[in-house]
């Protein structure tokens, strides 16, 4: 591969056995209950689900979380107990103790297998107790890890109002982000503000990210004269954005394909298919794509991207020329790989639980293009990877960095392979120009650690030959 | 249906996996949906395992739901058999497989035809037993399987070892301080002149299980895991067992005396009285500590104890009998073992509480206002909220409860460790209390003049709002860096945009 050849090569796709480690999609309650402040998440499942949540969430469980298990017992499984009555009892208890604005039922493997009709029960119970009940089937039979958020947001997409409420007082309540950006300013000022924006059809962004990142990305678009009219999800359930037919929507995370198709098919929105705003290259491409849809000439993005790269050069030089292997567990892999290739890394393989080639089309193109521009071979993308095969391959390839789940991190480290836990990328702030340093901070941490410990000569810490 | 936020004991399959992955070269295959292999994360992270956890999943997905597993489970078993050549593969049912009601036993039998190693189905029901009961049962099942196999082949050794010897049963991966306890017990046996025939399941090989019967007796230190195996070995092979947990000075002595009795019944002439005296009075520090002036200060202090049966009972007895502390409440989450626990601690505490509901325990602690709590990680957090110190004495536990240093709870060194744990909990509490009375080390009104305190910069409302979203522990740093950035660039007001520009520029 020479630098002269900058024609994107076709990406190679493969599919393995699906014997890989990932988090159960119910884990999405951990970040969604924090994001949606007036929600309560009820996971209807077994002890197995509860055990996973309580261990995976670590200290968060002690902070009186707004989530709980509806733990199914033998009587529920054999239908000796009435599902409706049981759920009513628990939901009334939740209403009494927490009074949330919405209860989200998370269906699990068990409710699927025993065919508990959650979608059928919810509207009846909703009417009876007077709290909206949103049903999301985030189970391990169908989904992996971050796809849990996708199922919840797809369900929420149905609940977004289709027109702004008429009452002036209610108007105040909605449009959380606009209100935030206009913080404390008088109405006239706000009206004057409007001229900062180009006249374009409403744009709603979807994907749950921490509030500071919401502000950052909104400000970023504001610089181009684009107004974000709402986010799915908003800070509160009562602030879900208005979504009308013909509105534009754009995703900020690669795992939101169900939400995207719900918005397109059910809410008749137009999807802006863009690469995801992860890394300065992704952020720029994301903004450019949105601008192009609205016929706006983007201003100053090239300089901005260059400046960011310049400011993180100290980190980038640590990974330039090194190789990385992504085992795959959270669907951020394509975007991460694209960003790392731009940083000068070579990617051996991209494992990914599920590959929606349509929703991720722009991101895949950018990956192929980036590989061509950087003069590195396009990596193979392996859907439903097989961890056993991957580990054998890793031992042969000896990559400089393996991005993997926690089940394999310590054993690989003990065999002299440097690892980074993939889960951290899910919880860290990785979107937009301003968080570039944060991603690189994570990526380079193991390498910096190695630098600190170098010369001790303790890289191989297992006795026998790697017994995979 | 039950509204639950927290559980003390995990689901059944965790128990089976703990047993299977404790043995050497035993592989467990879970019949479960994607994501149920969280056990691997726990083993790798909590106990910082260097090796890959020998657990894989035969994934239950939509296809399996529609057509049944068909060949999938069998293929996964035979694949693992060729890949890693384990001595034994344990097919592990989960909550999901127990409602699918597939004939897993049939899969096992068919896989056995092709597999070189042994294949077995763990006999546990998700809806009937918890982690601890399942572990106890699985261990017995594996032992029974290999002894029956050896018997059939005529490979069962008929003799006993020449010297008195013991099997230590119940040491498992992810068990609370189990690896240190195993070391301590081995040391204790060596000092008593008893050979350790086998420690299991941790580190044991199933190939050696046939030699179990050569030991003179079995020692079962924990109430939760091991008794079924010991009872089985007694009824089938006439092997006596000792199930007194050697935790604390008094119970360690009781345990040793029980061992002495068992050995002497088989013709040995063991006399450990002198050893016990010497350890108690001069070697171990625990007995002397009880007499020392420090411990006097603890007299009558009130404590709450909660944990699994073994640890909660033992710690209750240590507090009450050995340190003169008043145990106002002793409790256990091992509901299935209520009678035993009540009998063990009945005379040493004011009240017994058997419950799996952490809220009930938290309420009790709040009502009783003890000076210290001895419980699980959950009680530690309750203590934090109520400002009561807590020593962790039982699972569920966190990574800090897998110390790298030597911290047994059993035997004479264990007694020393327990004394430290208890004493440190109380002193900290007292110190806290004194600080409260005298208003702390420092006067409260300390005026810190930071750079930002004399700042000439103003923050806009949206800037302040964003700043307040930044976690408290780094907020000061971010504020300073942002203001420095703003001053350098000549901004007079700091808006959200300036804040994020500063973050980009200087990593504020």
Q: Looking at the structure, do residues A208 and A331 belong to the same domain, yes or no?
A: no
Q: Which of B114, B294, B363, B462 is catalytic?
A: B294
Mean pLDDT for A260-269 is 97
Chain B residues close to A109, C-beta within 8 Å: 33, 60, 95-96
Task: Name the closest residue on chain B to residue A84, using Cα atoms.
Answer: B1
Q: Token digits for A182?
A: 């206009």
CB pairs under 8 A between A and B: 198
Specify the 3-state DSSP secondary structure of A162.
Answer: coil
**What does the alpha-carbon distance between residue B184 and residue B58 come to, in Å, rounded to a whole number?**
38
Residue A344 lies in a domain: yes
Q: Which residues of A252-276 are buried (b: 16+ CB within 10 A; e: fewer)?
A: bbbbbbbbbbbbeeebebbbbbbbb
Condensed to tens digits (0 to 9), the pLDDT of residues B306-321 reads 999 999 999 999 999 9
Mean pLDDT for B333-344 is 95
Asked if B4 and A461 come within 8 Å (Cβ–Cβ), the reply is no
Condensed to tens digits (0 to 9), the pLDDT of residues B56-113 reads 999 999 988 888 888 899 999 999 999 999 999 999 999 998 888 899 999 999 999 9
**What does the alpha-carbon distance between residue B86 and residue A467 come to, in Å, rounded to a whole number?**
11
Identify the residue with better confidence: B139 or B97. B139
The mean pLDDT of chain B is 91
Mutate to test the interface with B, among A407, A408, A441, A462 (most CBs of B within 10 A): A407
**pLDDT for B450:** 43
**pLDDT for A193:** 60
Nearest Cα neighbor of B89 from B100, B80, B102 is B80
Alpha carbon distance, N-terminus to C-terminus of chain A: 33
The count of domains in chain A is 3
**What does the alpha-carbon distance between residue A345 and residue A325 come to, in Å, rounded to a whole number?**
10
Q: Looking at the structure, do residues A223 and A133 belong to the same domain, yes or no?
A: no
Residue A381 lies in a domain: yes
Q: Looking at the structure, do residues A258 and A321 belong to the same domain, yes or no?
A: no
Q: Looking at the structure, do residues A329 and A454 belong to the same domain, yes or no?
A: yes
Q: Token digits for B142?
A: 């594996």
List of residues 6+ apart from A256 with CB closer than 8 A: A149, A150, A153, A206, A207, A359
Q: Distance, in angstroms, between A298 CA and closest chain B CA?
A: 18
Residue A172 lies in a domain: no
* Burial of residue B187 (number of CB atoms within 10 Å: 0-12, 13-18, 19+): middle
User: Which ipTM did the prediction report?
Assistant: 0.89
Q: Can you say which residues of B are annotated as belonging to the binding site?
A: 36, 429-430
CB atoms near residue A404 (< 10 Å): 27
Identify the residue with better confidence: B172 or B290. B172
Condensed to tens digits (0 to 9), the pLDDT of residues B377-406 reads 999 999 998 989 999 999 888 888 899 999
Distances B259 to A9, A239, B2, B270 between C-alpha atoms, Å: 74, 69, 44, 9
Structural domain ending residue among the three candidates A120, A142, A164:
A142
Mean pLDDT for A143-155 is 96
Q: How many residues does chain B have?
A: 508
Asked if B51 and A462 come within 8 Å (Cβ–Cβ), the reply is yes
Q: Distance, in angstroms, between A207 CA and closest chain B CA?
A: 19
Mean pLDDT for A141-154 is 96
**What does the alpha-carbon distance between residue B77 and residue B69 come to, in Å, rounded to a whole number?**
13
Using only C-alpha atoms, what is the Rg of chain A? 23
Asked if A61 and B5 come within 8 Å (Cβ–Cβ), the reply is yes
Positive or negative, the Cα torsion across B492, B498, B504, B508? Answer: positive
Sheet holding A270-271, edge to edge: A228-232, A203-206, A248-251, A270-271
Q: Is B61 on the interface with A (CB under 8 A)?
A: yes
H or E stretch at B90: strand B88-93
Chain A residues close to B496, C-beta within 8 Å: 215, 219
Structural domain ending residue among the three candidates A282, A300, A318:
A300
Q: Is B59 on the interface with A (CB under 8 A)?
A: yes
Q: Looking at the structure, do residues A188 and A281 belong to the same domain, yes or no?
A: yes
Residue A5 lies in a domain: no
pLDDT of residue B364 exceeding 90, the answer is yes
CB-side exposure of A85: number of CA atoms within 13 Å? 6
pLDDT of residue B173 exceeding 80, the answer is yes
Task: Name the closest residue on chain A to residue B6, using Cα atoms.
Answer: A54
Condensed to tens digits (0 to 9), the pLDDT of residues A294-337 reads 999 999 999 999 999 999 999 999 999 999 999 999 999 999 99
Helices A301-311 & B496-506 angle (0-180, nearest 10): 50
Asked if A180 and B462 come within 8 Å (Cβ–Cβ), the reply is yes
Condensed to tens digits (0 to 9), the pLDDT of residues A425-445 reads 998 899 999 999 999 999 999
Instruction: Read off the pLDDT band of A6 (50, 70, 90).
Output: low
**What does the alpha-carbon distance between residue B315 and residue B304 come to, in Å, rounded to a whole number?**
10
Tell me which residue has tokens 């400046």: A307
Q: Looking at the structure, do residues A454 and A311 belong to the same domain, yes or no?
A: yes
Q: Looking at the structure, do residues A284 and A353 belong to the same domain, yes or no?
A: no
**pLDDT for A194:** 63
**pLDDT for A44:** 96
Distances A208 to A181, A213, A236, B183 between C-alpha atoms, Å: 18, 10, 12, 49
Q: Looking at the structure, do residues A349 and A415 belong to the same domain, yes or no?
A: yes
Q: What's the CATH number where A69 sits?
A: 3.40.50.1980
Q: Is B504 on the interface with A (CB under 8 A)?
A: yes
C-alpha dihedral, A457 to A462 to A463 to A466, nearest 10°: -120
Tell me which residue has tokens 């744009």: A203
Structural domain ending residue among the three candidates A112, A127, A142:
A142
**What does the alpha-carbon distance between residue B311 and residue B132 come to, in Å, rounded to a whole number?**
14
Q: Is B386 on the interface with A (CB under 8 A)?
A: no
Condensed to tens digits (0 to 9), the pLDDT of residues A224-243 reads 999 999 999 999 999 999 99
Task: Name the closest residue on chain B to residue A77, using Cα atoms.
Answer: B99
Mean pLDDT for A365-388 is 96
**What does the alpha-carbon distance between residue A359 and residue A261 come to, in Å, rounded to a whole number?**
9
Q: Token digits for B459?
A: 């923050």
Q: How many residues does chain A have?
A: 468
List of residues 6+ apart from B447 with CB closer than 8 A: none
**What does the alpha-carbon distance between residue B6 and residue A341 come to, in Å, rounded to a whole number?**
43
Alpha carbon distance, N-terminus to C-terminus of chain B: 49
Q: Which residues of B294-321 are buried (b: 16+ CB within 10 A; e: fewer)?
A: ebeebeebebbbbbbbbbbbbbbbbbbb
Instruction: Read off the pLDDT band of B457 (50, 70, 90).
Output: confident
**What does the alpha-carbon distance between residue B305 and residue B314 come to, in Å, rounded to a whole number?**
10
Give yes or no for a contact between B320 and B348, defined as CB atoms under 8 angstroms apart.
yes
pLDDT of residue A223 exceeding 90, the answer is yes
* Least confidently predicted of A79-88, B326-335, B427-436: B427-436
List of residues 6+ apart from B273 with CB closer than 8 A: none
**pLDDT for B440:** 59
Asked if B96 and A89 come within 8 Å (Cβ–Cβ), the reply is no
Q: Is B66 on the interface with A (CB under 8 A)?
A: no
**pLDDT for A60:** 59
**pLDDT for A2:** 46
**What does the alpha-carbon distance between residue A195 and residue A185 come to, in Å, rounded to a whole number?**
15
Active-site annotation holds for B308: no
pLDDT of residue A184 exceeding 80, the answer is no
Mean pLDDT for B408-419 is 95
Instruction: Read off the pLDDT band of A78 (50, 70, 90).
Output: confident
Tell me which residue has tokens 């799915």: A232
Nearest Cα neighbor of A275 from A370, A188, A361, A371 is A361
Nearest Cα neighbor of B466 from B409, B412, B432, B508 is B508
Give yes or no for a contact between A407 and B37, defined as CB atoms under 8 angstroms apart.
yes
β-sheet bridge partners, residue B200: B169
Q: Looking at the structure, do residues A393 and A433 belong to the same domain, yes or no?
A: yes
> Kind of pairing, strands B2-4 and A67-71?
antiparallel
H or E stretch at A61: none
Give yes or no for a contact between A236 and A36, defined as CB atoms under 8 angstroms apart.
yes
Asked if A62 and B381 come within 8 Å (Cβ–Cβ), the reply is yes
Q: Looking at the structure, do residues A346 and A317 belong to the same domain, yes or no?
A: yes
Of A61, A90, A410, nearest to B50 by CB-CB distance is A410
Question: Residue B279 CA to chain centroid, in angstroms?
Answer: 28
**What does the alpha-carbon distance between residue A21 and residue A374 come to, in Å, rounded to a whole number?**
31
Instruction: Read off the pLDDT band of A181 (50, 70, 90).
Output: low
**pLDDT for B429:** 66
pLDDT of residue A423 exceeding 70, the answer is yes
**What does the alpha-carbon distance between residue B93 and residue B141 come to, in Å, rounded to a whole number?**
15
Nearest Cα neighbor of A233 from A150, A165, A123, A163 is A150
* Burial of residue A360 (number of CB atoms within 10 Å: 0-12, 13-18, 19+): buried
Residue A167 lies in a domain: no
Q: Distance, in angstroms, between A9 CA and closest chain B CA?
A: 33
DSSP character string of B277-297: HHIIIII-SHHHHHHSHHHHT
Domain that holds residue A232: 181-300
Q: Looking at the structure, do residues A188 and A306 belong to the same domain, yes or no?
A: no
**pLDDT for A286:** 97
Give yes or no for a contact between A31 and A57, defined as CB atoms under 8 angstroms apart.
no
Mutate to test the interface with A, among B87, B134, B504 (most CBs of A within 10 A): B504
List phi, psi (to 5°) of B477.
Answer: -65, -45
Give yes or no for a contact between B47 and B174, defined as CB atoms under 8 angstroms apart.
yes
Give yes or no for a contact between A385 and A325, defined as CB atoms under 8 angstroms apart.
no
Condensed to tens digits (0 to 9), the pLDDT of residues B216-251 reads 999 999 999 999 999 999 999 999 999 999 999 999
Instruction: Read off the pLDDT band of A187 (50, 70, 90).
Output: low
Q: Is B487 on the interface with A (CB under 8 A)?
A: no
Residue A149 lies in a domain: no
Instruction: Read off the pLDDT band of B152 (50, 70, 90).
Output: very high
Asked if B65 and A113 come within 8 Å (Cβ–Cβ), the reply is yes
Q: Looking at the structure, do residues A281 and A417 belong to the same domain, yes or no?
A: no
CB atoms near residue A454 (< 10 Å): 9
Residue A155 lies in a domain: no
pLDDT of residue A85 exceeding 70, the answer is yes
Q: What angle do CA B201, B333, B403 make, to 5 degrees?
A: 50
Residue A165 lies in a domain: no
Q: B140's torsion region: left (phi>0), alpha (psi -120 to 50) or beta?
A: alpha
Q: Is B457 on the interface with A (CB under 8 A)?
A: no
pLDDT of residue B339 exceeding 90, the answer is yes
List phi, psi (to 5°) of B57.
Answer: -115, 135
Question: Residue A39 CA to chain centroid, in angstroms?
Answer: 19
Instruction: Read off the pLDDT band of A460 (50, 70, 90).
Output: confident
Structural domains in chain B? Answer: 2-152 (3.40.50.1980), 154-282 (3.40.50.1980), 288-426 (3.40.50.1980), 458-505 (1.10.8.550)
**pLDDT for A178:** 53
**pLDDT for A179:** 53
Mean pLDDT for B348-353 is 96
Distances B347 to B293, B298, B335, B352, B374 between C-alpha atoms, Å: 26, 20, 19, 10, 18
């Amino acid at each position: 591969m020479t630098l002269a050849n900058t024609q994107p090569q076709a990406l190679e796709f493969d599919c393995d056995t699906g014997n890989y480690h990932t988090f159960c999609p119910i884990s999405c309650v951990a970040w969604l209950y924090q994001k949606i402040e007036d929600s309560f998440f009820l996971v209807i499942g077994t002890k197995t689900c509860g055990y996973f949540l309580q261990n995976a969430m670590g200290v968060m469980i002690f902070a009186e979380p707004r989530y709980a298990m509806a733990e199914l017992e033998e009587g529920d499984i054999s239908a000796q107990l009435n599902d409706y009555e049981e759920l009513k009892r628990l939901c009334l208890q939740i209403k009494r103790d927490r009074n949330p604005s919405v209860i989200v039922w998370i269906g699990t493997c068990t409710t699927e297998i025993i065919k508990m009709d959650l979608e059928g029960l919810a509207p009846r119970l909703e009417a009876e107790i007077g709290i909206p009940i949103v049903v999301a089937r985030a189970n391990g039979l169908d989904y992996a890890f971050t796809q849990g958020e996708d199922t919840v947001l797809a369900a929420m997409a149905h609940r977004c109002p289709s027109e702004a409420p008429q009452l002036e007082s209610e108007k105040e309540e909605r449009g959380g982000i606009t209100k935030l950006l206009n913080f404390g300013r008088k109405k006239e000022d706000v009206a004057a503000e409007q001229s900062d924006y180009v006249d374009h059809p409403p744009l709603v962004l979807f994907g749950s990210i921490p509030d500071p990142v919401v502000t950052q990305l909104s400000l970023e678009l504001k610089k181009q004269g684009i107004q974000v009219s709402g986010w799915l999800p908003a800070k509160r359930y009562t602030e879900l954005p208005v979504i009308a037919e013909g509105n534009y929507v754009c995703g900020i995370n690669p795992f939101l394909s169900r939400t995207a198709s719900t918005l397109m098919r059910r809410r008749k929105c137009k999807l802006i298919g863009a690469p995801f705003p992860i890394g300065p290259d992704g952020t720029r491409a994301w903004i450019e794509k949105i601008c192009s849809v609205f016929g706006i000439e983007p201003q100053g993005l090239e300089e901005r991207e260059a400046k960011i790269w310049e400011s993180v050069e100290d980190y980038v030089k640590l990974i330039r020329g090194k190789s990385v292997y992504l085992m795959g567990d959270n669907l951020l892999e394509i975007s991460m790989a694209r960003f790392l290739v731009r940083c000068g890394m070579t990617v051996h393989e991209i494992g990914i639980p599920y590959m929606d080639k349509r929703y991720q089309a722009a991101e895949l193109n950018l990956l192929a293009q980036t590989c061509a521009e950087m003069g590195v071979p396009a990596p193979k993308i392996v859907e439903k990877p097989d961890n056993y095969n991957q580990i054998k391959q890793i031992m042969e390839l000896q990559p400089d960095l393996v991005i993997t789940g926690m089940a394999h991190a310590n054993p690989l480290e003990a065999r002299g392979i440097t690892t980074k836990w993939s889960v951290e990328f899910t919880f860290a702030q990785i979107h937009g120009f301003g968080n570039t340093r944060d991603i690189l901070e994570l990526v380079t941490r193991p390498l910096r650690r190695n630098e600190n410990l170098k010369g001790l000569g303790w890289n191989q810490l297992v006795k026998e030959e790697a017994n995979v | 249906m039950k509204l639950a936020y927290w559980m003390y004991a995990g689901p059944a399959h965790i128990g089976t996996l703990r047993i299977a992955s404790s043995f050497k070269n035993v592989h467990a295959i879970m019949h479960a949906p994607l994501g149920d292999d969280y056990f691997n994360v726990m083993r790798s992270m909590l106990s910082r395992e260097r090796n890959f956890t020998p657990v894989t999943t035969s994934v239950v997905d939509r296809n399996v739901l529609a057509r049944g597993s068909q060949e999938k489970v069998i293929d996964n078993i035979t694949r693992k058999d060729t890949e890693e050549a384990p001595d034994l593969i344990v097919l592990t049912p989960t909550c999901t497989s127990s409602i699918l009601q597939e004939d897993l036993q049939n899969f096992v039998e068919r896989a056995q035809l092709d597999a070189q190693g042994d294949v077995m189905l763990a006999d546990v029901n998700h809806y009937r037993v918890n982690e601890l009961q399942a572990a106890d049962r699985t261990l017995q099942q594996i032992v029974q399987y290999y002894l029956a196999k050896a018997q059939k082949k005529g490979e069962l050794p008929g003799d006993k070892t020449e010297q008195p010897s013991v099997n230590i049963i119940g040491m498992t991966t992810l068990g609370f301080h189990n690896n240190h306890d195993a070391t301590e017990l081995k040391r204790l046996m060596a000092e008593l002149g008893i050979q350790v025939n086998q420690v299991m399941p941790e580190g044991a090989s199933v190939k050696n299980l046939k030699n179990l019967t050569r030991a003179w007796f079995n020692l079962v230190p924990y109430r939760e895991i091991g008794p079924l195996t010991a009872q089985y070995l007694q009824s089938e092979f006439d092997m006596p067992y000792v199930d007194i947990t050697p935790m604390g000075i008094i119970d360690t002595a009781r345990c040793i005396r029980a061992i002495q009795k068992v050995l002497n019944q088989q013709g040995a002439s063991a006399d450990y009285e002198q050893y016990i005296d010497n350890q108690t009075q001069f070697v171990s520090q625990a007995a002397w500590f009880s007499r020392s002036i420090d411990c006097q200060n603890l007299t009558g202090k009130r404590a709450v104890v909660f944990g699994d049966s073994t640890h909660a009972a033992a710690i209750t007895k240590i507090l009450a009998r050995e340190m003169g502390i008043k145990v106002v409440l002793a409790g256990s989450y091992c509901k299935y073992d209520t009678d035993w626990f009540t009998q063990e601690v009945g005379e040493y505490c004011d009240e017994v509480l058997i419950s799996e509901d952490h809220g009930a325990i938290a309420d009790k602690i709040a009502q009783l206002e003890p000076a210290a709590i001895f419980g699980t990680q959950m009680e530690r957090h309750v203590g934090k909220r109520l400002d009561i110190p807590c020593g962790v004495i039982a699972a569920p536990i966190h990574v800090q409860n897998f110390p790298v240093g030597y911290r047994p709870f059993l035997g004479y060194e264990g007694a020393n460790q327990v004394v430290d744990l208890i004493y440190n909990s109380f002193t900290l509490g007292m110190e806290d209390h004194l600080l409260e009375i005298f208003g702390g080390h420092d006067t409260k009104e300390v005026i810190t003049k930071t750079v930002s305190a004399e700042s000439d910069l103003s923050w806009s409302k949206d800037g302040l709002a964003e700043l307040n979203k930044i976690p408290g522990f780094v907020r000061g740093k971010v504020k300073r860096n942002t203001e420095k950035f703003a001053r350098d660039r000549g901004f007079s007001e700091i808006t959200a945009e300036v804040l994020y520009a500063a973050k980009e520029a200087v990593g504020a």
